[in-house]
Chain A
Amino acid sequence: MSAAPLLEVRDLYKHFVLPRTLLSRLLTGQGNRIVHAVNGVSFVLHAGETLGLVGESGSGKSTLGRTILRLYEPTAGEVRFDGQDVFRLDAAGLRRFRQQAQIVFQNPYASLNPRKTVRQILNVPLMLRGVPKQERQAEAAALMERVGLAARHLDRYPHQFSGGQRQRIGIARALAMHPRLIVLDEPVSALDVSVQAQIINLLEDLQLEYRLTYLFISHDLSVVRHLSTRVAVMYLGQIVELGPTEPLFEEPLHPYTRALLSAAPGQGQRERIILQGAPPSPLDPPPGCPFHPRCPAAVGEVCRTVRPPLAPHPGGRWVSCHLYGGLAQEDGRVASVGQ
């Protein structure tokens, strides 16, 4: 792993404003409502690794992926790609950045233009990369073959392909730019398991072949465990735990990670931690630790008032929890949570 990370995210915030009508503002006496989708996220991504980003719906994982690519303008914070500040790029710089950082979307039925043939869909990135017109035909054909489709299907429309085949086209479109980073936003969630396995294998092969770096967003814990080098767990817009995959799955530190992992089916007889209630709304995140209202291990006042920082832990791990902050260690709660 090289010393300088490929991508560095520092204290990133993305808030969306839900406008209230004038009447509602007058009646409630309050201003617009704010969705705190990404709320102070920091991490680094090294070249060639796969960082799995897990979390439940509404935790902000897709928003984070899109803000990193500057598909959304951030509210605050910094993203550095190869040392360059992504949010300060001019139009030309942004085009160069977008050539190197691509995205594959979740829904292969919605992310391809139904009125264009696959050839037209693949031609756009090839043109943007500056491939001469006479070479595009051969490149498009090679891309199709590379993702496991037949070059003779280039003149078909998206509706003539199955879901798995469409996802392959989405991957080919991203590859056409020769990217270094690909944000994979739930790329297999819409697929049946037998097709899902084909796409996962393809993603692994492509990563080795082109030394790609993946930010792999998914709610499917077993898929993330299979593919990722490291994993970040998001809850209500924040990363609550981050670390190398196996240690994190074997011995999760954050109480939320414990509950999330124990809830996943398919792991045989294991004690389940059933959380009470549902995640709070990102419209109105609780003060202090975002997880404290549901936390079975909350240690008291500090959890309700002070937001725990994402702090280092031995073994290259990071956890955002007061249990590991030294504040709680005196009363012996750590040991009980360790079970």
Chain B
Amino acid sequence: MEKLLVIENLSVEFPSPRGPLRAVDGVNLEVRAGEIVGLIGESGSGKSTVLLAVMGLIARPGRILPGSSVRLKGRELTQLSQKAYRAVRGYEIGMVFQDPMTALNPSMPIGEQVRESLRVHRYCKSKAEERERVIQLLEAVGITNAAQRYRAYPHQFSGGMLQRVLIASALACNPRLLLADEPTTALDVTIQAQILDLLKEINRERNTAILLVSHDIGLAAEFCDRIAVMYAGRIVEVGPAERVVNDPQHPYTRGLVGCLPTWGGRRGRLEPIPGSLPDLTRLPHGCAFADRCPLALPECRDQEIPLIVTSDGREVSCIRTEEEVAV
């Protein structure tokens, strides 16, 4: 499959009173055309920052470090001017945010908000055509009577409906890539199921690739083709969704899966990961998980741990992976 998005050695830093904070540290990730990739991690792991970096939305004083590369269909994005980036956002890449209640302008009719990106990118020839496309988009995301509701305001919709509006507006210019930052976290579980269904349908019918950020590994396992697990700004494991969740290789992924209550009913106590996240202003040189890892060796702390390709085609950043597999 064609490589749509290639992220190479992406690092993002924010200044903090205790020194520069490395939110994303040397991330490599690919999204192929039509693929759904999940970026999983706990709060502070840097997953949302990766999306913002792809969108060119890292605001000063935060910065993308030199040597980072984000390429969309082979074109380098990190070097683009603000003006050139505006032609990418909403046109080649659409984005859906976590909280639909705050992502929309409360004083603007929803139809106008969806139309905005068509207008900015001069996607249609006339205003009438724009209006028609907005109505089609709203209907495509499951809003009935779209023509009548074109002039309705956000407060007249429920959270699930607003998320549909946001998705319609992200899809307006038919982008090849959709970034979704916890798109269902603010929604109830029955509504979450509706929205995930809709995103899956969009992926299948329009062949839109989706990069989904989520803290919910169970959700990602069902929804994504591949999963990348992040810890302290680094990717620790990447692989086919089903393999990563059912047979996690990195000790952190194992910990993450082990501390979830399983759906199959009680299987004894949960196994929490001891300790807490490392200080992102003082990231260790070696493995960031070493201090909490049950398998850590002295070597883990004094060398950078590359992603190692395992026998089943996964990439795992742990020096103990191969011997574990051998055992």
Binding site for B on A (CB under 8 A): 56-57, 162, 164, 192-198, 200-201, 204, 219, 221-223, 225-227, 245-246, 249, 259-260, 262-268, 272, 274-275, 278-279
A194 touches B272 (CB 8 A): yes
Of B76-84, B89-97, B173-181, B255-263, the one with at least 4 CB within 8 A of chain A: B255-263
**28 chain-A/chain-B pairs, Cβ below 8 angstroms:** A57-B188, A193-B256, A193-B259, A194-B259, A195-B276, A196-B259, A197-B272, A200-B261, A222-B260, A222-B261, A222-B262, A225-B261, A225-B265, A226-B270, A227-B261, A260-B189, A263-B189, A263-B193, A265-B219, A265-B223, A266-B216, A266-B218, A266-B219, A266-B222, A266-B263, A267-B218, A268-B222, A278-B158
Secondary structure at the A interface, as helix, strand, loop or mixed, is helix
B272 touches A195 (CB 8 A): yes
B42 touches A219 (CB 8 A): no
Query: In the complex, A135 Cα to B263 Cα: how many Å?
Result: 45
Q: Within 8 Å CB of B259, what residues of A?
A: 193-194, 196-197
A192 and B260 in contact (CB under 8 A), knowing A200-B270, A266-B221?
no
A201 touches B265 (CB 8 A): no
B188 touches A162 (CB 8 A): no
A274 touches B193 (CB 8 A): yes
Query: In the complex, A260 Cα to B189 Cα: how many Å?
Result: 7
Binding site for A on B (CB under 8 A): 42-43, 158, 160-161, 188-194, 196-197, 215-219, 221-223, 255-256, 259-263, 265-266, 269-273, 276
- Nearest CB of chain B from residue A200's CB, rounded to whole Å: 6
Query: In the complex, A195 Cα to B255 Cα: how many Å?
Result: 11
Query: In the complex, A2 Cα to B265 Cα: how many Å?
Result: 26
- Nearest CB of chain B from residue A184's CB, rounded to whole Å: 15
Q: Within 8 Å CB of B193, what residues of A?
A: 262-263, 272, 274-275
- Nearest CB of chain B from residue A271's CB, rounded to whole Å: 12
A198 touches B221 (CB 8 A): no
Of A193, A200, A246, the contact of B265 (CB 8 Å cutoff): A246
A265 touches B188 (CB 8 A): no
Query: In the complex, A268 Cα to B219 Cα: how many Å?
Result: 10
In the complex formed, the residue of A with least CB distance to B245 is A266
Q: Within 8 Å CB of B223, what residues of A?
A: 265
- Nearest CB of chain A from residue B16's CB, rounded to whole Å: 16
Q: Within 8 Å CB of B192, what residues of A?
A: 263, 265
Of A196, A226, A259, the contact of B190 (CB 8 Å cutoff): A259
B270 touches A201 (CB 8 A): yes
B189 touches A225 (CB 8 A): no
In the complex formed, the residue of B with least CB distance to A194 is B273
A197 and B270 in contact (CB under 8 A), knowing A219-B189, A266-B263?
yes
Q: Within 8 Å CB of B256, what residues of A?
A: 193-194
A198 touches B272 (CB 8 A): yes
A265 and B260 in contact (CB under 8 A), knowing A274-B193, A278-B158?
no
Q: Within 8 Å CB of B255, what residues of A?
A: 194
B272 touches A226 (CB 8 A): no
Q: Within 8 Å CB of A259, what residues of B?
A: 190
Q: Within 8 Å CB of A266, what residues of B?
A: 216-219, 221-222, 260, 263
Q: Within 8 Å CB of A275, what residues of B?
A: 190, 193-194
In the complex formed, the residue of A with least CB distance to B223 is A265
A219 touches B188 (CB 8 A): yes
Query: In the complex, A272 Cα to B219 Cα: how many Å?
Result: 13
Query: In the complex, A245 Cα to B261 Cα: how many Å?
Result: 14
Of A56, A201, A265, the contact of B272 (CB 8 Å cutoff): A201
Q: Within 8 Å CB of A265, what residues of B?
A: 192, 196, 216, 218-219, 221-223
Q: Within 8 Å CB of B217, what residues of A?
A: 193, 266
